Copies of this chain bind each other. A is one copy, B any other.
Amino acid sequence: MAKVVIVGAGFAGLAAMSTLSDAGVDVTLVDRHNFATFQPLLYQVATAGLNPGDVAFPVRTLLRKRKGVTFRQGILSGIDTAANEIALVDGGRIPYDYLVLAMGATTNFFNVPGAEENCHAIYTLDEALAVRNKVFSLFERAASRGSRDNTLTTVVIGGGATGVEMAGALAELKLRAFRTDYPALDPAQARVILIEAQDRLLGAFSPELSKYASAELKGRGVEVYLNTTVEGVTPEGVQLKDGNFIDSRLVIWSAGVGVAKQFAELGLPQHRNGRFEVGEDLRVKGYDNIFAVGDVAGGILGEGQLLPQLAQPAIQTGSCAAESIKSLLNGGITKNFHYKDKGTMATIGRNAAVAELTGGMKLTGTTAWVAWLALHLMTLLGVRNRLSVLLNWSWHYISWGRGPRVILGG
């Protein structure tokens, strides 16, 4: 039986797995974690709206009904393209006839001095939990010792969807938490600052939605700094290019995604941004049996556009590569990838979101927010997780109370 190895159990890898299961292929799915993370909701784990378990789904549970698929927890360390074998950090080796690379993206700090050392990202579950612990630890410290300084200021760098969602959730959390749980603290000191280098938020959306998002965030107490470049980040705060310094103990970096630096060691052709060079059929250039999908699939696709690093393109590339493999195994040819843009959404907070659908339809406000909730609930993996998220959301909406706001560890 032909062996297909898929590295990465994110949206792209799971889509590929799903297409290849029950197809008479021996599929091995490899991931560093034993669970798949629903990244679009990580910012809610970071702001104590959801449990970590709500956005994580055990891979093995996913595979129960999939025939021919086995899971292997491990981290890719190398590809022996001559022997058609991958190597894992723990010493394991897995042979393949076809290899699908779907390791996903990581935070890109763009070499801004001090950013990597002093910023939090919210790209993995552990990172999201670290942010939650930090937020509440800072609240507790301020409540215990008096907050005469600016130590409660949170800075979010990057005004894309992630930054907007995070800033909105932080503003809501502070507003609510201060009123009920920290009456001794002054909400005015808990500033939430959102920094964007361009002249508008949500650059991927139309200008009118950017304007709406900006106004909504401001209405919720977020300070939006546009046309603002970060020169560096220190343990004390953020240095701006215009000379100003923002004192802050919690800086969240949502200014960009990239791929892990270690991918360079794999010996595959990479673009300047680190993503693998692929042809129109998503095969890595120079290789007949290696596909790159999702956030690691680089290069110019379709009409000269860079594929956005989002769930939809990930799912579509994963399925497309898997279809090509099935076709190749049956003596056919590969399929070229064509991106179907279904539109994008971002939530700002209670009753406020933006959505831009294909065909130019734009939604804002409660309509967009409800659509956002419904879409995310439907795409979550697992009925238990859906029920738990629904419970937490309903609870939060009715009671304005945040659920799992406990500081774990340390």
Q: Chain A: residues with CB nearer than 8 A to chain B?
A: 33-35, 51-54, 56-58, 60-61, 63-64, 70-74, 90, 92, 125-126, 129, 136, 140-141, 143-145, 180-182, 184, 383-384, 387-388, 391-392, 395, 399, 401, 403-409
Q: Are B53 and A404 in contact (CB under 8 A)?
A: yes
Say yes or no: A58-B406 contact (C-beta < 8 A), given A184-B70, A384-B391, A384-B395.
yes
Could you tell me the distance in whole angstroms from the C-beta of A113 to the nearest C-beta in chain B?
A: 28
Q: Collect the chain B residues with CB atoms within 8 Å of residue A34's CB.
A: 136, 140, 405-407
Q: Collect the chain B residues with CB atoms within 8 Å of residue A406's CB.
A: 33-35, 52-53, 56-58, 125
Q: Collect the chain B residues with CB atoms within 8 Å of residue A392's CB.
A: 384, 388
Q: Are A401 and B388 in contact (CB under 8 A)?
A: no
Could you tell me the distance in whole angstroms from the C-beta of A89 to the nearest C-beta in chain B?
A: 12
Could you tell me the distance in whole angstroms from the C-beta of A381 to the nearest C-beta in chain B?
A: 12
Could you tell me the distance in whole angstroms from the C-beta of A70 to the nearest C-beta in chain B?
A: 7
The 5 residue pairs across chains A and B that have the minimum distance between CB atoms? A53-B404, A60-B181, A35-B406, A73-B140, A56-B406
The CA of A64 and the CA of B180, in the complex, are separated in Å by 6
Q: Are A52 and B180 in contact (CB under 8 A)?
A: no
Could you tell me the distance in whole angstroms from the C-beta of A121 to the nearest C-beta in chain B?
A: 16
Q: Collect the chain B residues with CB atoms within 8 Å of residue A184's CB.
A: 70
Closest to A399 in B: B384
The CA of A55 and the CA of B387, in the complex, are separated in Å by 18
Q: Are B181 and A58 in contact (CB under 8 A)?
A: yes
The CA of A133 and the CA of B388, in the complex, are separated in Å by 21
Could you tell me the distance in whole angstroms from the C-beta of A7 to the nearest C-beta in chain B?
A: 14
Q: Collect the chain B residues with CB atoms within 8 Å of residue A90's CB.
A: 144-145
Q: Collect the chain B residues with CB atoms within 8 Å of residue A383's CB.
A: 395
Copies of this chain in its oligomeric complex: 2
Q: Collect the chain B residues with CB atoms within 8 Å of residue A126's CB.
A: 408-409
Q: Would you give 15 A-B contacts (Cβ < 8 Å), ordered by A?
A: A51-B53, A52-B52, A52-B404, A52-B408, A60-B180, A90-B145, A125-B408, A126-B409, A129-B408, A384-B392, A384-B399, A384-B401, A387-B391, A388-B403, A391-B391
Q: Collect the chain B residues with CB atoms within 8 Å of residue A136's CB.
A: 34
Q: Are B58 and A405 in contact (CB under 8 A)?
A: yes
Closest to A182 in B: B60
Q: Collect the chain B residues with CB atoms within 8 Å of residue A181's CB.
A: 58, 60-61, 63-64
Q: Collect the chain B residues with CB atoms within 8 Å of residue A73's CB.
A: 140-141, 143-144
Q: Collect the chain B residues with CB atoms within 8 Å of residue A61's CB.
A: 180-181, 401, 405
Q: Are B33 and A407 in contact (CB under 8 A)?
A: yes
Contact of A403 among B125, B384, B408 (CB under 8 A): B384
Say yes or no: A404-B56 contact (C-beta < 8 A), given A144-B73, A384-B392.
yes
Closest to A136 in B: B34
The CA of A63 and the CA of B383, in the complex, are separated in Å by 34
Q: Are B74 and A144 in contact (CB under 8 A)?
A: yes
Q: Collect the chain B residues with CB atoms within 8 Å of residue A60's CB.
A: 180-182
The CA of A407 and the CA of B143, in the complex, are separated in Å by 33
Q: Collect the chain B residues with CB atoms within 8 Å of residue A408's CB.
A: 52, 125-126, 129
The CA of A314 and the CA of B42, in the complex, are separated in Å by 38
Q: Collect the chain B residues with CB atoms within 8 Å of residue A399's CB.
A: 384
The CA of A405 and the CA of B73, in the complex, are separated in Å by 14
The CA of A126 and the CA of B383, in the complex, are separated in Å by 27
Q: Collect the chain B residues with CB atoms within 8 Å of residue A35's CB.
A: 405-407
Beyond contacts A33-B406, A64-B181: 9 other A-B pairs, Cβ-Cβ < 8 A, are: A51-B51, A51-B404, A52-B52, A53-B406, A73-B143, A90-B145, A92-B145, A126-B409, A384-B399
Q: Are A144 and B53 in contact (CB under 8 A)?
A: no
Q: Are A53 and B403 in contact (CB under 8 A)?
A: yes
